[in-house]
Amino acid sequence: MMIKHIRTIIDKEWAEVFKNRMVLFTIIFMPMIFTILPLVMLYVMGEAVGDMSGGTADVPQAFLAACGGLSGMECLQIYMVNEFLILFMLIPVIIPVTIAAYSIVGEKTTHTLEPLLATPISTVELLAGKSLAAAIPAILVSWLAFGIFLLALPLIGVSRGVRAYIGGPIWLLGVLVAGPLMAVASVNFALYISSRVNDPRVAEQISMVIMVPILGLLFAQLAGLIVISVAVMLIIILLLALIDVGMIYLGVRIFQRETILTRWK
Amino acid sequence: MIVTEDLTKVFKIGKKGKEEIVAVESLHLSVKEGEVFGFLGPNGAGKTTTVRMLTGLIAPTRGRASVNGLELGKENRAIRKCVGILTESPGMYERLSAEKNLSIFASLYDVEDVPGQVRKFLQMLGLWGRRQDPVGSFSKGMRQKLAIARALLHDPKVLFMDEPTSGLDPEAAKMVRDFIESLKARGRTIFICTHNLDEADRLCDRIGIIKQRLIAVDTPAALRQRLYGRKVVFHLRELNSKWVKVVSALPFVKEARAISERLVVSLENPDRDNPEIVRCLVKVGADIQFVGELRHSLEEIYLETLRDIEDER
Ligand SMILES: Nc1ncnc2c1ncn2[C@@H]1O[C@H](COP(=O)(O)OP(=O)(O)O)[C@@H](O)[C@H]1O
Ligand SMILES: [Mg+2]
């Protein structure tokens, strides 16, 4: 394994991919929307605090228990905010899909894959380079969006209790640990899909299937079937870690030079 | 430099790999250092497959090969390090500059002085002034030369070129051919796949004709001779059919035929036998205007060879 080869691939991917408007658009606007939307909603809720005394009626019972000593209003906000957490976790899922879909299928359409495979680079180095090139920006952007979100909270008058919750273990685990793990799963999935299709848009659309389990989590929580607690988050992280290890193992086994060359057409 | 023994590739296709395509069958080949070897065959003959096997991109189904003394299958990474390949459709990163394209490959090939080597080739190709331009803006010929340069960055021991001039207009093709000739002049070992006979004739020291199996290997001149023997043409002022019989009767003449006013004679050794024929013709009263060798174009030989193969099957 040569770090230099991996760095060369990452460098090349970034030089190429970031010249693509579609990709840039996804990387910039999607996180922006996912950051601004929660802020606006929290701000609106804060303004409306006066006429919402018994507003906790909508919040599932299981969640109220989890709120502990917080006021009803704060509890409602946290309930809302937990849905936003899931939006934040979507950032590292969507961005890598976009980048990976374009980077692999692009390689096919330009016929650069064979010259690339003819170099002394190993397939593991190649896949690592491609994966990291897609995962790193996704993770950084999701962290950046989260940082902006945190900094903006006091400005829109969100209470100390809610802020402490957002800066607490559930969110930190979600954004700092689960997010990157999801990015890895997402990249591997997108690499796999784009090795089978020829159109970057199709690759992207199919790869978006990976969002389904996360959206499932979102709806399960909305329906009160599940409450994201530290324990639930740790289970999610464990599952993701297992999925990642499995996917990387499979990926390295599946993507042999000959397969890449003769199937990635 | 390149040695293959019984090198074979069978592709399994269709559902559950039930159907088989024999792309290359039992190839025995040996290419010497400094040689320019032409691999000549029609579409689907197995040229690309052979090059892919020899550059460690795909694994042979059977047989063995070594490149630069390195065993295929065991030392593939080392082989890739010391060979260069111009693939059949050599893509470039269109949005990236010529310089960036070459730099990426130079560093993947572990070239010591990446900027220096990239500059050397860009200057050699006369592209230094346009090094910052995206490759997408280059002409086909320029791109092809750039692709060859990309294959040469690490100073490979062997250069494989898969149809280096196909799809180029005549001018671009000439540009690329001249470039290959200059590489040849510098003593590089080159393995060229082509279905262009002129190209093979002009560039190659030896030619292998392939159609799944290797049909013939030799120098272009020897290929001509081997298939047709040597033929000498005697241009006469007037041709008398009796003279044909007289010449045919000479012991060393394999065949003599009249074609309009010319007498075409097949000989084993024209240098030795021509004077005797001239003497004989003069004696019977023929006016000899001109004596020359009948050269066959490689194309005729090639088509003939392929026809023989078809007949055999
Ligand atoms: N990856 C592959 N899968 C199945 N068949 C293949 C594959 N690559 C080449 N072939 C078949 O092998 C034969 C030789 O192909 P190729 O080596 O590309 O010929 P050439 O380069 O001489 O035109 C053809 O019949 C082709 O269809
Ligand atoms: Mg070919």
Q: What is the pLDDT of residues A58-82, one digit of tens each?
A: 666 666 666 666 677 777 777 777 7
Q: Please tell me the number of the ligand nearest to residue B211's CA.
A: 1
Among the candidates B168, B183, B218, a domain finishes at: B218
Helix axes A179-194, A230-254, angle to 10 degrees: 30
Whichever domain contains B157, its CATH number is: 3.40.50.300
- Ligand 1 binding pocket mutation candidate from A259, A262, A263, A265 (most atoms within 8 A of CB): A262
Residues B289 and B265 in one domain: yes
Please give the pLDDT value at position A57. Answer: 57
Judged by DSSP in three states, B138 sits in: coil
Q: Read off the pLDDT of residues A232-257 as tens digits, 9 standing for 90 and up.
A: 889 999 999 999 999 888 888 877 78
- Whether B92 sits inside 8 A of A110 (CB atoms) is yes
Could you tell me if B237 and B127 lie in one domain?
no
Report the nearest atom of ligand 1 relative to the CA of B13. 4
Alpha carbon of B227 to ligand 1 centroid (Å): 28
Nearest CA to ligand 1 atom 17: B46
Instruction: For residue A124, give the nearest of A2, A241, A10 by alpha carbon.
Output: A2
A158 is written with which tokens? Answer: 């969100």
pLDDT at B160: 96
Asked if residues A168 and A108 have their Cβ atoms less than 8 Å apart, the reply is: no
Q: How many CB pairs under 8 A join A and B?
A: 75
A112 vs B85: CB contact, 8 Å cut-off?
A: no
Residue B276 lies in a domain: yes
Residue A20 is given by DSSP the state -
**Whole-number percent of chain A with pLDDT over 90:** 26
Would you call A261 and B52 a contact, using CB atoms and an 8 Å cutoff? yes
Same-domain status, B86 and B197: yes
Name the amino acid, one letter, at A247. Answer: M
Chain B residue with CA closest to A108: the answer is: B91
Structure tokens at B37: 């070897």
Same domain, residue pair B140 and B265: no
Residue of B70, B93, B154 to mutate when probing chain A, most A C-beta within 10 A? B93
**B163 and B276 in one domain?**
no
pLDDT-flagged residues of chain B (< 70): 225-229, 295-301, 304, 309-313
d(CA B141, CA B147): 10
> Per the structure, how many domains does chain A have?
1
- Interface check for A14 against chain B (CB to CB < 8 A): the answer is no
What is the CATH classification number for the domain harbouring B260? 3.30.70.100
Structural domain range at position B12: 2-218
- Cβ contacts (< 8 Å) between A119 and chain B: which residues? 80, 105, 108-109
Portion of chain A with pLDDT greater than 70, in percent: 90
Of A114, A121, A257, Cβ closest to residue B108: A121
Say how many Å lie between the CA of residue B45 and the centre of ligand 2: 8
Top-confidence range, A33-42, A161-170, A250-259, B105-114: B105-114
* pLDDT band at residue A105 using 50, 70 and 90 as cut-offs: confident
Chain B residues with beta carbon closer than 8 angstroms to that of A121: 108
| Residues B212 and B234 occupy one common structural domain | no
The verdict on a CB contact (< 8 Å) between B96 and A12 is yes
Q: Does B80 lie at the interface with A, CB-CB under 8 angstroms?
A: yes
Instruction: Tell me, yes or no, whether B105 lies in a domain.
Output: yes
Reported as a single tens digit per residue, the pLDDT across B159-185 is 999 999 988 888 888 888 888 888 888
**For testing the chain A interface, which of B67, B82, B87, B110 should be mutated: the one with the most A CBs within 10 Å?**
B87
- Provide the Cα torsion B298, B302, B303, B305; round to 10°: 140
Provide the whole-model pTM. Answer: 0.81
Rounded Cα gap, residues A78 and B289, in angstroms = 108
Which residues form the domain of A255?
2-263
The alpha carbon of A183 is separated from its chain's Cα centroid by a whole number of angstroms, namely 5
Q: Which amino acid is at A96?
A: P
Cα three-residue angle A231-A147-A39, rounded to 5 degrees: 85
The 3-state DSSP class for residue A198 equals: coil
**Of the partner residues A4, A15, A114, the one whose CB lies closest to the CB of residue B96:** A15
What was the pLDDT predicted at A190?
Answer: 87
Chain centroid, CA B222 distance in Å: 14
Q: Which of B8, B27, B49 to mutate to test the pocket of ligand 1 (most atoms within 8 A of CB)?
A: B49
Q: Quote the CA–CA distance of A231 and A170 in Å, as a whole number.
A: 9
Asked if residue B164 and residue B239 are part of one domain, the reply reads no
Q: What is the pLDDT of residue B85?
A: 95
Domains contained in chain B, number = 2
Say if residue B42 is in the same domain as residue B183.
yes
Nearest to B57 among A4, A122, A257 (CB): A257
> What pLDDT does residue A8 have?
95
Residue B302 lies in a domain: no
Burial readout A192-221 (b: 16 or more C-beta within 10 A, e: otherwise): bbbbebeebeebbebbbebbebbeebbeeb
pLDDT of A168 higher than 80: yes
Compare CB distances from B109 to A11, A120, A261 and report the shortest one's residue: A120
Q: Are residues B208 and B238 in the same domain?
A: no
Cβ(B49) – ligand 1 distance below 6 Å: yes
- Distance (Å, whole) CA B89 – CA B163: 9
Give residue-wise pLDDT tens across range A180-195: 999 999 998 888 887 7
- pLDDT of res. A263: 66
* ipTM (interface predicted TM): 0.83
3-state secondary structure of B279: helix
pLDDT reported for residue A79: 77
What gap in Å lies between CA B58 and CA B54, rounded to an integer?
A: 8
Shared domain check, B21 and B110: yes
Mean pLDDT of A80-97: 84
